[in-house]
Structure 1
Amino acid sequence: MNAVSIPQTMRRLVITAPGEIEWAEASVPTPKPEEVLVKVLGVSSCPHWDLHILGGEPMFPGQDLHYPYLPGQPGHEAVGEVAAVGSAVASLRVGQRVVAWRDTGEARPGFYAQFNTFRAVDLLPVSAERPHGQWASVELGMCVEVSFQRLAELGGVRGRRVAIAGLGPAGLVAVQLARHHGAAAVIGMDPVTERRELALRLGATHVETGEAASWPADRNDERAADVAIDCTGLAPVVEFLLRRTRQAVALFGVVRDPIRYDGALMWGPGVTLVGYGDHNRTAAETAIAAVEAGTLDLSALITTTLPLRDYVRGVGLLRRKEAIKVLFDPWA
């Protein structure tokens, strides 16, 4: 294992009970042969994960949730520096700036820590010239890009009208990726005024509150979207989109309740309800390329930066919708 000077101990966050954390001392982990030790420079909140886990609810319906939660979890949107590499790693080198491009889904420590080990195949190198807030949420960019991959199976978004429901972090990324992929028009939908305004700054051509009176349900109307992405997971919102979209509505938000699809949606031609796809490296590389091209500004999602030890305060900002994302600094 090649390494630079690394301390023996570090600090990491542990959610010990609903609403309670410890900013605890722990040993710096040693990477396995296929792993990398990452010095975490910045880690972004993932609001749904943070709100659920700190709030005492599992992220997905039916899952078990036990405390203390896995150390460093649910932190997974991270940028850092390679501090050491395992003996089998040839793709990355010490000192290189990297981002975690996918959450492995394994029961393992997360990036809410000063150091974390991660498989080399789940990291991608990025430029060290850009601020941490521009890179930390690449994993979210990858996740959203997967929905565009699904729409690409039906002809894609280039030259088309695209509706995005829910202008939280995922929706604001979707607005930008829609323009990156050549959408002719992007309709952002959210009840929060500030988020609609930010969507316009990030490339939306039109915004809606989501009220039926302001956008009549008519798939043949010139205002209808060609395709749409739902980033809310709310059944009434998905049903709202189905009645205002000509070809397909892709699901990104975690759906918790049944969605009603009635016979009228089958004709004209019928509108397709598209499920989610698989996380993949190509989607992550597309997100990174969009950042490099200047068509995806992930730092625009960061409302504030806080020390990681102020995690509960940061999640409170998310809960009250006073922040879109919080960038946590493990070293502050």
Structure 2
Amino acid sequence: MSAAETSMRRLVVTAPREAAWEEVPIPSLKPRDVLVRVLGVTTCPHWDLHIVDGVPMFPGHELRYPYVPGQPGHEAMGEVAAVGAQVRELRVGQRVAAWRASDIGAPGFYGQYGVCRADDLLPITSSRPPASWASLELAMCVEVSFQRLVAHGGVRGRRVAVAGLGPAGLVAVQLARHHGAAAIVGIDPVPARRALAMDLGASEVTDGDACAWSTGRTGTRAVDVAIDCTGIAAVVEFLLHRTRDAVVLFGVVREAVRYEGVLMWGPGVSLVGYGEHNFAAAQSAAAAIEAGTLDLSALVTTTMPLRDYLRGVELLRRKEAIKVLFDPWA
């Protein structure tokens, strides 16, 4: 950032299905803040679609317009443009990725510059392009589910199912392979997503037809552990009846899930909730990126200018894109 720069462009959702690309002052910094020049920011499909449609992401949350996206707008990478007075661990010009989202309602990275707490940024040492790092926050979130599975035997050498092969599910497929799963079953009704899951390391894929995969927690088709990335009760129940040890919830569940008595025995299968975002999960995800076993760029269907935000969200709505990478400088 040059000393002469005083303003920037940012996205504002002004009303459902309406957005503006407005000019605003470059924000000032608190002592532990970092100003990031955004090089790439990816969509978080469920967030984007909810906000654009005028629906709170989580039941009970209030949604007001104009809405300056903090969430979504939390999956981004860039370079440090300025640091607050108390920041010593980051320097101007250093490449960073956001590993943890800012508070709900706080301005995020849907703009040319974004402010983030220094503690929420992870330095990037590699020269991989923005698409390889922008979704680090998502990868951290998914890695938390693998942390939750450690108490249930982990995934190494085991048969793992991943339901829902959207962005989170495709990350889960890759992380399962990274953590040494012996076999990975991807479940999704969309053929193109099943095909991509196979390219990214799934051993087999299925559309989740209950008739084609009958219930049973024993036998060769059963899995040891599973991760649900859909939040759909019927899908969670499908997994419970085909998993030996544990089903971990990643998708946001908005309806009651039925846990039948038969699932208690044999031994019983555990239904495991989500954990806490943490830096260790971010470091583990970053290590997978550096090792080449986690390719976040594979989730990016297209790149477009951030001012074309609504066009990008429509691609998500029509399932013509898994993620869109926005360039705020294009």
TM-score, normalising length: structure 1:
0.98
The residue aligned with 1:205 is 203
- 1:303 match: secondary structure: strand
8 A contact 2:74–2:102 mirrored in 1: no
Distance 2:248 2:209 in 1: 20
Distance 1:105 1:232 in 2: 24
Question: Given residue 306 of structure 1, which amino acid in structure 2 is its aligned partner?
Answer: M
Give the one of 22, 47, 50 matched to 1:49. Answer: 47
Q: How far does residue 61 in structure 1 lie from its aligned partner after superposition?
A: 1.2
**How far does the alpha carbon of each residue in 1:217-262 deviate from its partner, in whole angstroms, 9 at most, with x for none?**
1111211000000000000000000000000000000000000001
Distance 1:95 1:19 in 2: 36
**How far does the alpha carbon of each residue in 1:122-164 deviate from its partner, in whole angstroms, 9 at most, with x for none?**
0010135101000000000000000000001222100000000
Matches within 5 A, 1:297-312: 297-312=295-310
Which stretches of structure 1, 4 residues or longer, exceed 6 Å deviation after superposition? none
Q: Which runs of 5+ in 1 are unaligned?
A: none
**How far does the alpha carbon of each residue in 1:67-89 deviate from its partner, in whole angstroms, 9 at most, with x for none?**
11135652000001000011100
8 A contact 2:164–2:187 mirrored in 1: yes
The sequence identity of aligned pairs, in percent, is 68
- 2:211 match: secondary structure: helix
The residue aligned with 1:327 is 325
Give the one of 288, 291, 313 matched to 1:290. Answer: 288
The residue aligned with 2:124 is 126
Give the one of 88, 91, 94 matched to 1:90. Answer: 88
The residue aligned with 1:189 is 187
The residue aligned with 1:313 is 311
Distance 2:238 2:99 in 1: 32
The residue aligned with 2:68 is 70
Give the one of 19, 22, 42 matched to 2:20. Answer: 22
Distance 2:103 2:145 in 1: 19
Distance 2:292 2:142 in 1: 17
Distance 1:173 1:223 in 2: 23
Distance 1:257 1:75 in 2: 27
Distance 2:160 2:68 in 1: 38
Aligned residue pairs, count: 330
The residue aligned with 2:234 is 236
The residue aligned with 2:215 is 217
Give the one of 246, 249, 260 matched to 2:247. Answer: 249
Distance 2:186 2:104 in 1: 34
**How far does the alpha carbon of each residue in 1:253-302 deviate from its partner, in whole angstroms, 9 at most, with x for none?**
00000000010100111000000000000000111000000100000000
The residue aligned with 1:155 is 153
- 1:214 match: secondary structure: coil
The residue aligned with 1:260 is 258
The residue aligned with 2:167 is 169
8 A contact 1:200–1:207 mirrored in 2: yes
TM-score, normalising length: structure 2:
0.98
Q: Which runs of 5+ in 2 are unaligned?
A: none
- 2:24 match: secondary structure: strand
What is the Cα-based RMSD across aligned positions, in Å?
1.1
